[in-house]
Structure formats: C-alpha cells, structure tokens
Structure 1
C-alpha cells in the first residue's frame, strides 16, 4: 500500500478515477480525502484493484468502512495479506450487504485471506461451525444449543454470514463455478437447519419423545440453492420407544416450529431466511409433521401430480439421518411411478401454463423475471423434471435431484439432443449466475433483473463485460432467454412424452422375457424375430442405442395398431441401419413424434412406401409436417430436374455417362416425390385428383429430363444440333393426368424436321433420341420402374416409333378409326418442343372433337368395341364385380361414358375439350348432357375405384385391379387405409357404387331403357 493519496495529487486523480471505472469520481475523491484525514490511506495499486471491481464506487465505500472499523494492527494485517486483495474488492464491488457485515465484524475479512480461502470446505465443516456457534457439540448424535436466546440466534446469523462471505469471495473471484456455489449454499443451509434444530431442542423440553428428520425440498434438496431463498422442507417424525405417537407428534411439531423460528426470526443481525413447509401433504392446511406411515398413505392415495414432481428433489438434510433415509427410500419408488398416472404429462404442462398466466397477471415485470419469466430458470427446470419423471421409470441414471446433473444424464442417454442440452446448461449457469449477483447486492430474495442502468452496469462488469456492460449484458440475457424458450417448447411439449408416459412400466424396460410376451400380445406373428430386431437396435451403450430404447417401446404400440407389425419393425430396423450414425435421424424421431408415428404406420402398412424409403431413407425427414407432404409445384420439379441434366452436361464425362448420370439424378428426384405423394395419400392428406396430377407431374418431369439428356447425347455423338424438333405426346392415363402408382406412361413420339434438313437424317436422329430416352429410363435403378409404352401410336407395334407431324396428319386424314379418335381424347403433347406440341394439338383436335360429332355407325362401333373389351380383356376366373377397371361400374365404364359424350358434343361444348375424366363429367353436367345425379354417381364410382387401385398398389407394392379378398393382411391394410371399419364394409360400398354406376352406363352409353 505504497504512495498514499495526498491532497497535492488532486489535479490528476479525478481523471484517473474516471478511467478506472468510478462513476462518481468526485465523490470518490472526497471519501479518499476524508479517510486520509483520519489516517486511512489507499495506495495506487489498490485503486487499480478497486477499479477492476464490478462497481468501483461501491467497493471503495465498503473498503473505507472496513478500514475505519479496524484498529491499526488489523489494518496492517489486512495490508500484508496479498491473497485477500484477490477477493475482497470483488466482494465489496458487488455486495453492499456483505460490506455492511464486514463493517460490523471487521475481523471476518480473514476468511477471504490466505490460501484456505480458495479451498472448497466440506459440508461437515459448515455443520460443525454453525453448531459450535450456538453452543452445541457437533459430535453429539442429537446436539442441543446452550439456549434459545436472542444472543444464540445472533451468533448463528453471524457465523452463517461469515461462511457466506467466504463463499462469495470464492464465487466472485472465479475460484468456484456456479454449480459449486449453489451446492455449497445448499450445504450451508442444511447446516443452518441442523443448528436451528439444536436451538429448538434447547427450547422444547420434551424433544426426546420423538425422532425428527428434516427433508430438504426444491433447490435445497437439489443442492442448487440461491444466496437468498426460502428453504423448502418437509418434516417427518417417529415416536421413540415408550412414547405414544400423539405425544411424539406434538413434541415433533413444537420442535419443527421452533426450528423454523430459529432461522426466520428477526435479530439485530437480521434473519437467515424463511423455512417454508408448504410442500408437505395437504400444504398449509395439513399437519406440520407426519409419521412415515402417514406420509406414505397420503402419497399413495391423495397426492397430485405436482407433489410427485416436487418430491423428485427430496433429500434428507438435517435431524435423524436414519429416519431421513427411510423417508427417501419410501418416496423414491412412488415418484418414479407417478408418470404412469392418467394425464400425468398433461397435468404438468397445464400447471406450467397456469404459473405463467398467473405471473403475467400479477406483475408487469414478467419479462424481467429470471426465474418464472419466459426463457427463465423455471422453463429449464420444468422441462428437465418432466423428462426425468417420464423416462426415469426405466432409466435410473436420470434420477438426480440436481438440474444440471439430470440434464447431463438426459443428454448422455439420448433423451435430449447434445446441442439442446448444451444450450440449456449454458443458459442455466448464466441465469443462476445473474440471479446470484442480483441477490448478493443487498442479500434480498429477488429474481428480477433491475432496469436501472447503474445496477445493470454492475451486473455486466461482474460478468466480465467491459466494452458496453449494459448493452452486452442485455443482449446476452435476451439471447439465452430466447434459446431456452425455444428448447423448452420443443422438449416440454414433446408429444413423445405423453406416449412414453402412458406405457405400462414393464414396457419401458425392453427385457427379453417381458418383450417376448408383450410382442405376442401386441399381435406380432414372429415375436422371436421381432425380439432379434429390438435387440439389434437397442443393444450397446451408444447414444444411438439409448435413443432407440426410448423410441421402441412407443413405436411397438404404433406398429401393432397397423396391419402388419412384423413388417413395420423389420422396415424400421432396415431404415435405421441404412441411416446408420446419421446424426439427424434418431434426433428427428425423438423430438418430432409425428415423424416417428407416421413412420411406424407407413412401414407396417405400405410395401410401396417402405421400398421407397429403404431406397432413399433420408426421405423420412418429409414426414414432419403436412406442408412437407404437399405436392411440389410442377415448375419447381421441372426446374430441379433440368438443372440436374445441365450439371451433368457440363461435366467432362463421355456423352453416355453424362446422360446416364443425369437420368439417375432425376430418378432420385422421382423416388423422393413418389414417397411424398404416397405418404400424403396413405395419411389421407390428399384426394384422388391431386394424387393423379402429382404422379403425372412426376412422370412428366422425369421423361422431359430424360428426353433432354438423350438429345444432348445424340447431339454430342453427331457433333452438331439435331436436324429436327422432337415432342412426346402423353396418352391414356398419362395424358389424362390420372396416372396411378403402377401405371405405364403411354406416349407417342412426333418430330418435325428443321427447314432445309434431310428428312431421312431427321427421322434417324429423332428415332435415336426416342430409343435413347427409353434406354435411359429402362436402366436398372433403385426405384419403381417407369415403363414407356408407345403402342397407342398409329398402326401400333407395326408402325414406326417416331413419325413426323406431316405423317400423323396424313394418317389421321386417311386411316383413322373411331377407336383412334377416342384414344386421342387423352392425347396431351406436354413434353419436348413446346411449339411442336402446340401444332400437334391443333392437328388432332378436329379428329378427336369432330365438327359434327359422330354418326350412328361410329356409335355402334364404339359400343361394339366396349362390349368386346368387357368379354375378352377381363382375366379368366376372376370375379367380374370385384374388378375395379373392367368390371361393371368400374373405371372403364365411367371413362367410356365421358369419352362418348366428348366425341358427340366437344365440338360445341368447350368444357368437354379436356383430357381429364372427372373434368369431362363435370362439363357434361353443366351443359345439361348428363343428369347431375348421374354425374355424381359416375364421379364417385370412378374416384372410389381409383382410390382402391392406388391403395392396393401402396399396400402390396404390386399393381392389381382386383379388390383384395383372400390375403388377410393386405385386405385389412387396404380397408384400414381407405377408412372403412371392416373389409365387408369396403366390399359392400364398392358394390353399391359400381351397381349404381353400371345402371347409368347402361342408360347413357348403351341406350338401355327400363
């Protein structure tokens, strides 16, 4: 402490104090001058040390009061202790209350000095010191204070503050982190309760009639206490031998009351804190003390959800240690069974919402609340506790009463993502640190961030923020709060919690014995095989296995609710194996229960969707939301597909490799989009028209991309541009935008030589493009095949694969048959050269929509063709009425009605000039060509038959036009997907629709009258 302050240094001191961080350098100068006049000096190095404090002005005032209270020998000892200056200014710069304590007890500065000040004391140290402070023998099994006088209470408070001072010194100098500080505060509180009980024994004459244990609850029980907090407790008592239970309980109640007064009574040294016993059974309305049996009876019969949540932190902290252990052993199993109660998760969530609503009503400062406000400590604690209670039934590593320890275990066990756990832990430590700093200032119980800039500056500097303490602190706090709130919403309201909580306890532990029995009960046909899958997924200590152990008990129930649980579990294992250690996969299933549930349902229902998912397992990410399953726009799909072709075109690979790579990439896109569409269909998120349009769009962009790749290749081989334009005409269901999952793509190829081009060369080039496109799409690949069928072209298989536009014109002018006009009703030139497609459409429109309709001869021919098709094309041995395509009232019946009306009237009714069946029926009804009721009958029958065909394909993975009647699983799956109670209901509904539709067909198409 060299170079003391003297008056002749005044001109330079003001600026120096300001630079050091003093906010009122003038006042600081006056204090230094007054102290110097009384023989108390402060050296330049010490001023520098004070300037590093959170609040230099506060630190200087506290130091001067301490120096004034010390005698010369004490000041000399203080000046000589180098260690104290590492901690004393830090304490004085944060806590005015501890500065006042030092002014009253100046010799207590010694707990901040020397090497021992940075060592963490053992919990026993606190207990022994506080017992000695009240005159009790720490070695006595039931220590009693010398008396219950105010002097004894004052001694207890002074000793408590002394240890609090030492702990604050370690805290504020960085020698102890927030976890250690909170644990030490809980241990110090437990020691104070023990000392308070010793004082109570001196006050209660019949204390010997009972054994009394004090159970710490809340933050005290979790060893995460604040500097200033109510200490939550529960009292449990038992009579001693020879004492009656009523007498023992009366004595124990007096002891407990006296203990509470010993801690909370006001004295010249203040009080310690309130001892709050409101968490006891029945709360404040219930008896203060109960026996062990009384506690058990209450918890087994009457306890509410929140009481079990509170008991998670129950820990014996004072009094009879053996009785405390008995209490903990009794409540532990009850706590970990609580989550199985009806609506447990919902109750906890509702309670949290009520707390938030109450806070918002009670205070306008809810946004500044560190504890209860949005993104505050309670958000973290409630989320952690709920996860503990739900998953802790089966995993005893989660049963710590300490928030940070439990959070670490939840992360290690895979119940919480690593990033989420790290974010919550970081925010928790920050918020607790801020809470400690706020409470240390005046040693008052508060959780509200101040709004005064001076207080905020002290907080920011105490946290090491120096450039802009107020702004930096506020931004850091808000960032942590936002992060906590986001993670809290995700974890606390995670639907998987409800599913896990509702499982019987034995199902949360996938032991082989219990699992085999349960699998049989759930409907697995091969429980041994299912058990092997489960063991493969859950064995080991990896994080992946831990998450699977959480997911599988719930997913087994979802598999069992679907038609084929065995297939579902097998598919789940295959997808999980395929994705391996992909970090997002299991995290997605755990955090987004919709994905897990939908995945289980799909895998146990649809072979088609399962195959797609196995070939592209990353598509599981699409299951998270309904929006993600909506069909993408045609423009977006086309842009992505053509971009893949252009990327490969720019590669330096050989022409054929570039084309094959391009089409392989586009087929990957097709695979993903087929999965998206099939899932939406299976989940009932779409309708028949949307599915048909989506599947048509997917096929269109795939063929367009393949055509472009083929053109690029042929041009590279020819070393020049094509001598002709090429277009692909969609036909049949493809042209009608009504493709199904198993439909071929019926097409015709048309080309038009460029001016001056050699026609033979143009024909050769166009034919090469068509063949190359077909080859590229026919190459083996891990996706459902897209068969290109060109057999609807003029002359069928006997005709050329590709024709010029002029050749088509000549053919249709001379040779076109009625069936070809009918086939052209679905022709849509949507691929390739747009201008050529437009010209082709103009060419065929008069053929398919004849100006005068059709004559009686053509009508008879069409009817004859229809009847012949019904008799010849229907497979032998099948039940005609169950054939959704060719059977009576099936797809073909409805489509021929629509097409006949188009041939007859499209020249005069613009709405009939469409390739879509349902649009044509709608237009016929609007034009009065078809009765509205008849139109509805035909439309409903067509949509039901289409849905059945699509669902059969989704379930079996193979196309079929027959309603399933023989294979139980397939029949059940189709029935379930379509939403019917039973197979009989589906058959009856289809037959009713088909019967009514056939009646309309007979009347409208065949002209049959009653």
Structure 2
C-alpha cells in the first residue's frame, strides 16, 4: 500500500479517518474477507466514525471470516446497504472487544441488530424474556444473554438510548435472566419447586433499574411454604398465614435454598461460554453468615431488632424481580415502612457518612485518583448524597420513594429539597461518569471502575464519548470538571433544604415547620436545634444582599460544622463573626468568592474555643484565611519591628501594651488557624502528615511572638519612666520551653533577668532601676484582658524564689562559680536571649556555656543527683488523682521523661559533640542519634512520644481555651481533641489507647537511657 517516496491515498485516508495503525488496517482491507467491499467509501467512513477504527476493522474481519464463503456475500451486502445495521454493528465492534469475540463465535448473532423497529429501539422486560425463552441450560442462557446484550450495546454506542435508558435496559435484562435461571433451576428440581415458594428481590443497581454492563447482581431471597388449597371466602390458605396446607416450613426453606443456590450457580459459574455475572446475596440479614433464604417473618424480625443503618439504605433499592410475585410484593410492602423510618435512628446521618468515609479509606492509594465509582467526586458520592436526602425527607414525601438515582434526584429538585441548578449539575456529572463507566466496562466486559492509563485506551474512551478533536485531553478535562462538581455538591446537598426552609419563607407560605426543621438539625448532630434554627433565621432571612449571600454560603458551612465535634459552637461562632463583620463590604464577598476562606473559617470556628475567642476580638483577621500563604507565621524580626513600632506610636504605657496585645492576638490567631487547618485538612489544603513539623511551627511561632511582645512591654516600661535609656543595660533570657522555642498556646514564659550598670551609674541605682522595670513590665502584662495570659515566671533564677529577681552579670558569674547546683546547669541548657540588650544577652550565654556543657561531661555523683531529682519530681509533683499514663507533662513517657533524658545526654556529651549545643529538644535528640549516642529506633520512639504529648497539650488549649496537661473528660471536648489529632468520629478510645502505647514505649527507652535500667 506504500509507494516509494510518498504514501498512497488509501494510507492517508486511513490516517485521516482515525486509524492509529494505517499500515495494519490497509493489510486487513486487502485481505480476502472484505474483498467485496474494500473499495466502498461508505464502509471506510463508517469505520472512521467508531470509537476505535482499528478495533472495529479487526472485529469486522473476524466476523466476515466466521460467516464462511456461503454467507459472507449476503452479510457484506447487507452491511454496506443498511445504514442502521452498519452504524450499530461497527459501533459495537469499535467499542467492545468482548462482543467482537462473541460475534466471532456466533457469527449469525449480527442479525439481532438488523431490525430497526420502535419495539427494537426500546425493548422492555417482556422482549428480553422472549429473547431468553429458548435457553434451557446455562450455556444456552449465556449465549442468549450476550445476544441481548449486543442489542443494548448497539443502541448505546449509536446514541439511540441515553445512559439512563441503557442502565434500565441492563437491569431489565438482568431481571429476565434471573427469571430464566430460576426457570432452569426449577426444571432441574421440580420436587423442590413444588415444595416451596421463592421470591427473588433485586438490590443495588439492579433493584434501582440502573445496572452496569458488568456488575454483581445483588439479591435477597425470601422463602415460604407453598400455598394451600382454596378456602371459603376467597383466596388461598398458606403455611405462613396458618392455613390448612400445613407444609413443613423447614423443608420448604431447604427446598428454596437449593433452588436459590442453583440459580446463583447458573448465573455465576463459568461455562464454555464463560459466565453471565456473579449473583451476590451478601446484602441479606447477617450477610454471608446468615441463611441464604429466610421467611418474610424472619426477615422482619431481623430488620426490627438487629439491622444496621446501611442495611436500610440498601433496602431503598429493593425490588421484587423473580419467583413468586405475591410473596415478593408482600416483602416489599413489609420492609418499605422500615426503610422510611431509618432516618429516625440514633446517629443515622453519622452512620451513613461514616460508611462513605470507610469506602474511600479502603481504596488502594495508587487507585484513588482513577476510581470512577468509589473515589472522591465519584459515582458513589452522588448516590450517597441522594440516598441520604431521600431517607431524611422521604419520611413525609412519598414522591421521593424511587430506587433510581436520577429519578430520585429529579424528585428532590421538584420538591424543593435540592436547588434546581445543583440538581442539574449533579445529574449531568452523574450521567457523564456513568457513561464513562459503561464504555470502560464494555470494552472487555470486565467489572472495573478504574479509568485506564494507556493512551490508546483513553483515546478509545474519549472517542466513544463523542470527543473527537483531542479525545484524551478533552476526556481528562471533562472528567475532572464533573468530578469537581460532584465533590463540591456532595456535602452541600444534605443541608440546602433546611436552609431554604428557614431563609425563603414567604408570607402565608410555610415550607417546613420549626419542629421538622429542628428534627433535621438534630439529625445532623446539632445538640440544640432550636438555637441553631434561630441562628439560621438571623443570618439568612430577609431580602438584603447580605442575606442572599448567606443563603449561598450556609448550606456548605452547615455541612462543615456538622463534620466537627461541636456543630452548635461552629454555627454560633459564625453568627458572632458575621454580626461583627456583616456590614463590612469585603467579609461576605471574601467567603463567597474565595473558596478556601469559607472552609477554613468553618474549620476554625468549630474546632474549639481558643481560635474563635481570638477572632471575636480581632474579627478582621478573617482575611488571613483566604490564602495559604497568609497563614504562614511571621518571622521574629518582622514581629518585633511591628510591635515596637506600635509601642512607639502609643501615648501611654498602657496603650502601648494594648497595641502589642493586638498584634499578639492577631498572630496567635494566625498560628492557631494554620495549626487547625493543617491538622484537620480542607479541600484546598490536605492534612499535613508530619506532626513534628506542625509542633515545631507552633513552637517557633508562639515563642517568637512571646519574645516580641515582651520586647514591646520592656520598651513601654522603659520609655515611660526613663525615656530612651535605662540607667543599666538590661537583658531577658528565655528559659525552659521559651528558650527552647517550644512554647505552646497556654505556656508560661520562663525567664531570667540580667543587668549591667552603665558607665558612671551607681550599682545600687542600677539595681533599683532594673527592679523597677521588671515590676512595670509585669504590671503592664498583667492588666485585665480577655486574651490568653502571658505570664512571666522567673523561678529558675539562682536560689529560686528566695534569690534576687535580677542580678548583674558579675553576680551571676560569682554565684555559678561558687554555689551552682547540677539542676541549675540542666536548666541553663535552654537559656537563650529573647529581649533587651543583645550584647549583654550574648555575654550571659558565654558565661553559662561552661556550666551547661561541662568539660569531660558529668561525674557519676551528678548523674545520680539528676536521677534522684527526676524520681522525686515524679512522686511529688504529679497532681492528685491524675492518671500517670495520660498526663502529658509528668506522666509516663511524657514531656518530662523525654526532656530529662535528652538533657542528661547533653550534659554528658555536649562538650565533645557541638550538635548537642542547642536549646531545642528535638534538635538535640537528632544530634544525639547522629553522634551514635542513641539508637535510631530509640530516638524515633522518644521523638514520637514528645511530639504527641506536645500536640495533645496544644489541642487541649485550642479546644478548651485554657491550658491543661491531661485529656478532657467532657465527651465533646475529647472528640474535638481527637479530630485535631486525626481521629474521626467515635475514635476517642482508640486515640487514648494509641497515646498509652506510644508513651509506654517511650518510658521503656527512658528507663534504659536515663535510669540505666
């Protein structure tokens, strides 16, 4: 087909027609099988219109060869002359390799596509039953099933039917197949068929008339004894009703079980023609552990006493499809009220949401992005949202009682439960995703929901969806767009109806009673639905632009609040912030137009007390939530510069400290908000996996902010009494967690004060000035405020509370030279200048370095003394009644255990290992590991315990608004701490167990490394 120097016109035409391997296509066209029609341009155009012209041509050649010499001419003549047949047959061959295989095995089945009558275009259950009527064994049933499937696929790929009609026809074909399989099973065991009544209930997509090309067919079997003879008054007696027939129920169930098992084998087992599809009965009561067939009364007893929420959700799609119609109808009639009462069950919504999360969690990580059905933004998100709405609102509205997703979505929109735009967008996305699923499965008739990765597969898939210009790029773009719509609307749908009921009341029109609205809020997890309803009314009622924007925001916000441990607090806090900022033009616009801002705000407002309390006093800080970059903590230089500038502008010391507090308030909120969002995650920002990085970020940010605030208070105290220059140089040394850059939200600031008289200043005068400035700083920092307190603690100074509050550098040198104890050397490991005269601070560090990094390390007497002090602290300082396994600071394997162990290593080895000369616990621990002083496993265990204990302390402060060293006893507060630590709803016990396990392992390392056990 190739002429030297240029390609033939046929080759080029094949390329333009969409063939990816025109050379192979040319060889096939030149073969004997298509000799009679190879030059017919109609055929080439028709092949080029298929999803995969190469695949269609290969299938056509195989089919033509299978016709044999006698039938081939008529087949090819019909193909080129009958456009409906040509489009249907080639359309199937270009989309489905599996159906091409079937046609090659059964070459006369192409005639199933020949007719083009109205009944053929839209067959119903009766037509499919006629198509399977002559199948009297599993092999024949398989062949007849594939023949019917061929006709459905042809209508599908040619666009004669849409995706919903395709799914409905597949469900009808499955129904007809179940009936045929039961007929075959009954014919094989007529004695069993006579000894029982058996009804087959379709569940899942088959029950909902929305089946896939390849799917398990979920069923439930209901059995009973046969009906008795006619009784006076009409009707028949039966054993279930206590009639005269009196057949033994046990024997009837045994017979029904044999029939049901045979039916399942007929459909599921492999034959020479393969299998049809698995029949899955695991949705029955007790799942695979329960009997395959039960009586109706046994089903009802189970559902009334033992059934879980998901089982009622599954029953929403139940439909009697085969077997005894009267028994099937009675089953549906009996279970229907139970389905529509399910929403009244305790924790109903939480159970449904938990099940959806569990489905996502079980997807292999490598497949999540390709999961069309189960992944985020997939088909299951649509189905769960719709079913949840149905079950909640269907209690009082029978128009919602549909097992078909798209029909139910239409009914929800018609009833005002879902906005019409939302319903239309979700419906379009669902149709597109289902069409993708159908075409993926149609290719090889395999059960899969994964979007293929290969270029050729994606190209065929895109072309089958009607995307012809750039099929791969267009398909990927459309798929991601629809998945994004599903993700956005999935959570929103459940909350919109409630909002509409509250916000869109017109005079004389009550769409939802307060009682009904309260019930729905309660179902969402709101503990005080009446108060929540008042908040919604205040926020969203009226015709103002503000109310209109709130009506747009609140459906999603309600969902995010409901996903927290305390939805009531989230909604209340949102109302307070909205009241404070509602009149500013940028606030609601920010939440509406910046997607991250609204979700970030919802997470922050419902995570506990600290961040909302800070925001109430600085509501303009909402603007920080718009962008991820805005939540990055500011550096120490920038913080100190801003605070000192604010102090300089203030007229009084009190006003100066108030200005410094304003900066501190905003920056604490920035840090807390970033911490919460990183720990809880949002759609825009996933959960940060490195807990140690989160702890370090908070420790640095709060420590830097504390240092800057103290510097501002120092500047204010000096300026009001001494002008620009204090008579003595003055420095503040951070100690403990402050010096270690490890402050939490509720930590005190441990400090030492040091001064040095300026030249010509009397030492007593200098000391008096230093004492006065400390007193003034403390007074200013202790002025009444609603902000978290900033307490300065100087108890780590020489001689403790008995010693002078401030000393000169020379006095420190004299004390440390003569009187210093080993605990003071240990405390000085964290000494770092934080404010005041920088030069004096550096000289103080130079003074204490020989004490904290003693040459040749510690002697054994000093080691024993440190161990004795630690043991004494454990026995004396743990609060009475505190659980030592759960106390984060002094408990087993907690902060104190890890820190003292690391500090002992520093005291013994820092003289020789420069990496150990740091005030930071984690940094010192890493240096000890790098130097070979501690094993990598032991270092990891200690680090994990220290990070976890620190996060718990931070979480307690975020949740309760006040510091604490133990887990909260309040259930909601404990749940909120769990959410912060990454534990979902109902996992507080698991969190406590994990904490105990982590700290227990750490204590074992401490016993070995610190105590030498």
TM-score category, normalised to shorter length: 0.5 to 0.7
Are positions 1:58 and 2:53 aligned together?
A: no
TM-superposed deviation, 1:110: 2.0
Q: Which residue of 322, 329, 337 maps to 2:329?
A: 322
For the residues of structure 2 that align with 1:35 and 1:875, how far apart are their CA atoms?
Answer: 96
CA 65–482 in structure 1, closer or farther in 2 if over 3 Å, else same: same
Residue equivalent to 2:537: 535
**1:475-518 CA-partner distances (Å, limit 9, x unpaired):** 956995899699989989x9x9xxxxxxxxxxx99738958999
Residue equivalent to 2:667: 676
CA 558–45 in structure 1, closer or farther in 2 if over 3 Å, else same: closer
Are positions 1:104 and 2:108 aligned together?
A: yes
TM-superposed deviation, 1:329: 0.9
For the residues of structure 2 that align with 1:217 and 1:896, how far apart are their CA atoms?
Answer: 79
Q: Which residue of 117, 120, 126 maps to 1:128?
A: 126
Q: Which residue of 612, 615, 620 maps to 1:609?
A: 615
For the residues of structure 1 that align with 2:71 and 2:27, how far apart are their CA atoms?
Answer: 21
TM-superposed deviation, 1:337: 6.1
For the residues of structure 1 that align with 2:455 and 2:781, how far apart are their CA atoms?
Answer: 87
Q: Equivalent residues in 2 for 1:39-438 (5 A)?
A: 43-53=40-50, 54-56=52-54, 57-61=57-61, 64=64, 79-99=80-100, 100-101=102-103, 103-111=107-115, 113=116, 119=121, 121=122, 125-133=123-131, 149-150=136-137, 154=140, 160-198=145-183, 204=190, 207=193, 212-239=198-225, 240=227, 242-245=237-240, 246=249, 247-260=251-264, 263-264=267-268, 272-303=276-307, 310-311=314-315, 313-319=317-323, 320=325, 322-326=329-333, 328-329=335-336, 332-333=339-340, 336=343, 340=347, 344=351, 348=355, 352=359, 355-356=362-363, 375-379=371-375, 380-381=378-379, 383-384=381-382, 394=392, 396=394, 432-438=434-440
TM-superposed deviation, 1:451: 8.1
CA 974–900 in structure 1, closer or farther in 2 if over 3 Å, else same: farther
TM-superposed deviation, 1:127: 1.3
For the residues of structure 1 that align with 2:580 and 2:805, how far apart are their CA atoms?
Answer: 46
User: Where in structure 1 are there 5+ consecutive unaligned residues?
Assistant: 1-9, 136-146, 361-365, 497-507, 643-666, 699-731, 738-744, 749-790, 795-807, 813-819, 827-846, 934-971, 983-1010
CA 853–223 in structure 1, closer or farther in 2 if over 3 Å, else same: farther
Residue equivalent to 1:849: 757
Q: Check whether the contact 1:84–1:114 (CA below 8 A) recurs between aligned residues.
A: no
Are positions 1:901 and 2:807 aligned together?
A: yes
TM-superposed deviation, 1:633: 1.8
Are positions 1:511 and 2:515 aligned together?
A: yes
CA 600–330 in structure 1, closer or farther in 2 if over 3 Å, else same: farther
Q: Check whether the contact 2:207–2:403 (CA below 8 A) recurs between aligned residues.
A: yes
Q: Check whether the contact 1:196–1:263 (CA below 8 A) recurs between aligned residues.
A: yes
CA 548–412 in structure 1, closer or farther in 2 if over 3 Å, else same: farther
Q: Secondary structure at 1:105's aligned position in 2?
A: helix
Q: Check whether the contact 2:218–2:283 (CA below 8 A) recurs between aligned residues.
A: yes
**1:664-707 CA-partner distances (Å, limit 9, x unpaired):** xxx99997874232464799989999658537869xxxxxxxxx
**1:835-873 CA-partner distances (Å, limit 9, x unpaired):** xxxxxxxxxxxx97323763457768988x899999x99
TM-superposed deviation, 1:621: 5.0
For the residues of structure 2 that align with 1:668 and 1:16, how far apart are their CA atoms?
Answer: 78
For the residues of structure 1 that align with 2:597 and 2:415, how far apart are their CA atoms?
Answer: 15
Q: Check whether the contact 1:227–1:439 (CA below 8 A) recurs between aligned residues.
A: yes
Q: Secondary structure at 2:32's aligned position in 1?
A: helix
Tell me the TM-score normalized by structure 2.
0.54
CA 210–94 in structure 1, closer or farther in 2 if over 3 Å, else same: same
CA 18–342 in structure 1, closer or farther in 2 if over 3 Å, else same: closer
Residue equivalent to 1:841: none
TM-superposed deviation, 1:98: 3.9
Q: Equivalent residues in 2 for 1:858-1007 (5 A)?
A: 901-902=807-808, 915-916=835-836, 977-979=962-964
Q: Equivalent residues in 2 for 1:823-834 (5 A)?
A: none
Aligned residue pairs, count: 720
**1:890-918 CA-partner distances (Å, limit 9, x unpaired):** 99xx9999885349869999999985499
Q: Secondary structure at 2:284's aligned position in 1?
A: coil
TM-superposed deviation, 1:610: 0.3
Q: Which residue of 547, 561, 584 maps to 2:556?
A: 547
Q: Secondary structure at 2:201's aligned position in 1?
A: strand
CA 487–333 in structure 1, closer or farther in 2 if over 3 Å, else same: closer
Residue equivalent to 1:1006: none
Q: Secondary structure at 2:604's aligned position in 1?
A: helix
Structure of greater Rg: 1
For the residues of structure 2 that align with 1:128 and 1:597, how far apart are their CA atoms?
Answer: 56
CA 908–334 in structure 1, closer or farther in 2 if over 3 Å, else same: same
CA 569–676 in structure 1, closer or farther in 2 if over 3 Å, else same: same
For the residues of structure 2 that align with 1:528 and 1:49, how far apart are their CA atoms?
Answer: 65
For the residues of structure 1 that align with 2:421 and 2:642, how far apart are their CA atoms?
Answer: 33
Residue equivalent to 1:505: none
CA 177–639 in structure 1, closer or farther in 2 if over 3 Å, else same: farther
For the residues of structure 2 that align with 1:516 and 1:407, how far apart are their CA atoms?
Answer: 19
Q: Check whether the contact 2:730–2:770 (CA below 8 A) recurs between aligned residues.
A: no
CA 476–616 in structure 1, closer or farther in 2 if over 3 Å, else same: same
Tell me the TM-score normalized by structure 1.
0.54
TM-superposed deviation, 1:298: 3.2
Q: Check whether the contact 2:281–2:287 (CA below 8 A) recurs between aligned residues.
A: yes
For the residues of structure 2 that align with 1:601 and 1:178, how far apart are their CA atoms?
Answer: 51
**1:238-295 CA-partner distances (Å, limit 9, x unpaired):** 5545333515434543443454455457778765433232332344443221123322
For the residues of structure 2 that align with 1:230 and 1:673, how far apart are their CA atoms?
Answer: 60
Q: Check whether the contact 2:143–2:273 (CA below 8 A) recurs between aligned residues.
A: yes
CA 212–425 in structure 1, closer or farther in 2 if over 3 Å, else same: same
Q: Equivalent residues in 2 for 1:619-658 (5 A)?
A: 619-621=624-626, 631-633=633-635
CA 30–556 in structure 1, closer or farther in 2 if over 3 Å, else same: closer
TM-superposed deviation, 1:464: 5.0
TM-superposed deviation, 1:189: 1.6
Q: Secondary structure at 1:632's aligned position in 2?
A: coil
Q: Check whether the contact 1:309–1:385 (CA below 8 A) recurs between aligned residues.
A: no
TM-superposed deviation, 1:89: 2.1
TM-superposed deviation, 1:375: 3.4
Q: Secondary structure at 2:200's aligned position in 1?
A: strand
For the residues of structure 2 that align with 1:869 and 1:456, how far apart are their CA atoms?
Answer: 73
Q: Secondary structure at 2:617's aligned position in 1?
A: helix
CA 598–276 in structure 1, closer or farther in 2 if over 3 Å, else same: closer
CA 574–586 in structure 1, closer or farther in 2 if over 3 Å, else same: farther
